[in-house]
Amino acid sequence: MTLQSGRDGESTPDGESRGAGRDPRPTRRGVLLGVGLAGLGGVLAGCSTAAVPYDANEAGVPPNGPAPGAMPSSGAMTSPAAPGSDAMSSSPSPRGGQARKKAKPKPKGTVLGAASDIPVGGGAIYTAAKVVVTQPASGQYKAFSAVCTHVGCLVNKVTSGTIGCPCHGSEFKITNGAVVAGPAPSPLPARQIKIVDDQVILL
């Protein structure tokens, strides 16, 4: 009598393997493995690499409708910009639809003061800048060094059409800085200024 085993893969006394005559029908393990792989393939096929806005619906469309050129192609890998990032604020629209006016460039030089503070027929002395500015006629401004040409004292008053020095009484004309009374030997050197938006600017 020949002994045979009922278990797969065990040998019989004849030396033949039972595995050689295995049933060709699929086993339960094979069926489950195939179903699992097919399901995984379907899930992967349904995935998309395109970026979708946070508040988009199931079709990937934002509430306000798709922006032109906003949705990248399926091959593009992009991430949505974080709130407050540069990508969100790179081109802000001006408020009210009006373009922002460009600020006027500040004029070069030192601002001495307001031109309206200089009286016609008189002047103003700016001791920090060592400059005296006069207005001989309305809208006509002149500037001179405030250092007296006698011994270097600063002038301290502008009256009666002259610029006066307190040290030795020298006086100069408000129109051109020329000496009216000595002992100053030479006129006050002229300085260059300009008036911008009622500001006296020393150049």
Mean pLDDT, residues 158-171 taken together:
93
CB 47 within 8 A of CB 39: no
Question: Percent of the chain at pLDDT above 70?
Answer: 48
d(CA 162, CA 47): 91
Secondary structure (3-state) at 57: coil
Q: Is the pTM of this model over 0.85?
A: no
- What are the residues whose beta carbons fall under 8 Å from the beta carbon of 5, sequence distance 6 or more? 11, 12, 18
Which pLDDT does position 118 carry in this prediction?
Answer: 93
**pLDDT-derived band of residue 74, with 50, 70 and 90 as boundaries?**
very low
- Residue 45, phi-psi category: left (phi > 0), alpha (psi -120 to 50), beta (remainder): alpha
Phi, psi of 28 (to 5 degrees): -65, -40
Q: pLDDT digit string (tens) for 114-159?
A: 999 999 999 999 999 999 999 999 999 999 999 999 999 999 999 9
Q: Looking at the predicted structure, is the pLDDT value of residue 71 above 90?
A: no
Which pLDDT does position 8 carry in this prediction?
Answer: 47
What does 41-108 look like in DSSP terms, one character per residue? HHHHHH---S---TT--TTS--TT-PPTTTSPPTT----PPPTTSTTTSSSPPPGGG-PPPPPPPPPS
Mean pLDDT, residues 152-170 taken together:
93
Comparison of pLDDT for 201 and 68, the residue scoring more: 201
Mean pLDDT, residues 44-67 taken together:
63
d(CA 86, CA 167): 65
Question: Percent of the chain at pLDDT above 90?
Answer: 42
Q: Which CATH code fits 117-202?
A: 2.102.10.10
Which pLDDT does position 181 carry in this prediction?
Answer: 87
Domains of the chain, by residue range, sit at 117-202
Comparison of pLDDT for 31 and 130, the residue scoring more: 130
Q: pLDDT digit string (tens) for 88-98?
A: 445 555 555 55
d(CA 23, CA 119): 120
Q: Looking at the predicted structure, is the pLDDT value of residue 67 above 50?
A: yes
d(CA 155, CA 148): 6
CB 116 within 8 A of CB 198: yes
* Mean pLDDT, all residues of the chain: 74
Q: Looking at the predicted structure, is the pLDDT value of residue 188 above 90?
A: yes
